[in-house]
Structure 1
């Protein structure tokens, strides 16, 4: 029994150096892999665009227009694009791919729906990535929309209240809101943050005048007969607002107008 025990220890001990060598080699390989991975991760991505501003020039209202931006990784680390966030639901961005190794490029496809737009319009995109120096890059798309709302059908007029891209800006954000919060959510995008007018007409006026007040109430509730760009927001006209919400908008606009007129 003693000889067998020594024999096994000797036999086992005979291969110990080889096992240790194999173990050492395996450890070295693991360390090299970790080292290489760390080296790759230590590189710095650098996001670059062929242009950060594109001007479509003059376009017709109601058209869907497209542009493709070229995006490159000019750094020495992997670029990971998180996403592109549009300022409005009418602007739809899409990347061909979002992970770029050093030297690689990709396309950013952008579509803009010009329905309900008029005159000079600028839409923006915020592109976020893991670039440490420029984690967010703003892209601007400019255009001048002519023939504003000319020949717009009743179906197209209702688009602002039915199309998902439109309702995300003009309806969804104002659900359950009143007064200034409702105005900022649903109206400010077209009529300006202070009612001074932008793509839509100004809303500052003599709301103390009963005729003017009723006129504006009718437009908010039932829509404008002069332009298809303004559908009725009242429930009876198929809109999303209750009468109390429309009344709260009129109260806010009346107070806002009084303050503006007093400043003059």
Structure 2
């Protein structure tokens, strides 16, 4: 009877060890990229770098931007455990305005949806801003 319990106990432990699921984990170097202040027409390409810190292949199924002015590119194949990958993001810098966009990454990782952010300001230095002009008020004249 003792042998039977011992065998069952060892069997249950080995079953529990084998039942541990392999899972991909995605860790980004940074989840926000700050463009800072950039000129109109400047290079709008930036890269989000990440690593698969899990024990299963990471498959990124979809990378979607919050608007058409930002075009993300996802990796083509699976990212193996311990390997790194990149998601390239291109913002259209012909638009003079503040940048506040979200890129949603969908994958098979333990965190299946990750929201990445880009921010900054695109300026046109060929045009003078109302903020840069200092005019005297009627009282100062």
**Fold agreement, TM-score > 0.5:** yes
> Does the CA-based 8 Å contact 1:122-1:143 persist in structure 2?
yes
> Does the CA-based 8 Å contact 1:83-1:128 persist in structure 2?
yes
What residue is the counterpart of 1:135 in the other structure? 112
What residue is the counterpart of 1:125 in the other structure? 103
Q: CA RMSD in A?
A: 2.4
TM-score with structure 2 setting the length: 0.69
Larger Rg: 1
Q: Distance in 2 between matches of 1:114 and 1:126?
A: 20
- CA positional deviation for 1:83: 1.7
Of 25, 28, 50, 1:49 maps to 28
- Compare relative contact order (CA 8 Å, sep 6+) and give the higher one, 1 or 2: 2
Partner-residue secondary structure (3-state), 1:122? strand
Matches within 5 A, 1:33-48: 42-48=21-27
In structure 2, the CA distance between the partners of 1:77 and 1:127, relative to structure 1 (3 Å rule), is same
1:115 paired to 2:94: yes
In structure 2, the CA distance between the partners of 1:93 and 1:77, relative to structure 1 (3 Å rule), is same
Matches within 5 A, 1:57-206: 57-118=36-97, 120-132=98-110, 134-147=111-124, 150=127
User: More helix per residue: 1 or 2?
Assistant: 1
> Does the CA-based 8 Å contact 1:82-1:98 persist in structure 2?
no
Q: Distance in 1 between matches of 2:28 and 2:42?
A: 26
- CA positional deviation for 1:53: 0.4
Regions of 4+ moved over 3 Å: none
* Residue ranges of structure 1 left out of the alignment (5+ in a row): 1-38, 151-264
* Residue ranges of structure 2 left out of the alignment (5+ in a row): 1-17, 128-141
Output one character per residue of 1:160-211: Cα deviation in whole Å (capped at 9) or x when no partner. Answer: xxxxxxxxxxxxxxxxxxxxxxxxxxxxxxxxxxxxxxxxxxxxxxxxxxxx
